[in-house]
Amino acid sequence: MNLLVLYLLLLKALLMSFTGLTSLPIIRDDFVVSRHVLTDHQLNTAVVAGRAGPGPFGLYMVCIGYTVAGAPGAISAFLALLTPAFLCLPILRWLGRYANNRRIRDAIRGLLIGSAGMLLASSIPLARDALTGPLSIVIMAGSFLILAFTRLDSAWLIASAAVLGLAVKLIHG
């Protein structure tokens, strides 16, 4: 894939989302569904690799860039990740003038609701790829319940799920 196209596709996903994983539906559509340069499994792996370490939620995009085009792709993805930060100040200055406008607030709420729906829609095929047996389903359900009803940091949850998965693998070979 052309590095400029990779940069522009990831930049589009970043600019159309509000936080890290809300760009996932756009990325899945561009890279898995439309261009077929990634599979759902590769996208899942990139998300896990990007979320496993410290850093911003959108860091998984660097893993996507690397999967698609190697080290140059990772650099292109990193530059796409940085670009919105440089655009943020003028945008915030402009939005600050209109923040009390009811139409602007309603438009932002609508965008948030739409992105939540897109995130849910793209999560279903990724879950189908990741949920391969009873253990993964139990981990997913338990993770959801813990995140929904407690204030446990997600890093502890990820570490616990990894330890549980390894323990079961060691016990059952």
Provide the residue-wise pLDDT of the chain in tens; the chain has 173 residues.
899 999 999 999 988 876 667 788 899 999 999 999 999 999 999 988 887 777 777 788 999 999 999 999 999 999 998 888 788 778 778 777 877 888 888 888 887 888 788 778 878 888 888 888 888 898 889 999 998 999 988 888 888 888 988 898 898 86
Task: Give the residue numbers spanning the domain of 101.
Answer: 3-129
The count of structural domains within the chain is 2
Q: Same domain, yes or no, for 31 and 94?
A: yes
Asked whether residue 90 falls in the same domain as residue 143, the answer is no
Residue 108 sits in the same domain as residue 44: yes
Rounded to whole angstroms, what are the CA distances from 106 to 35, 98, 113?
34, 12, 11
Of residues 26, 31, 53, the one with CA closest to residue 41: 31
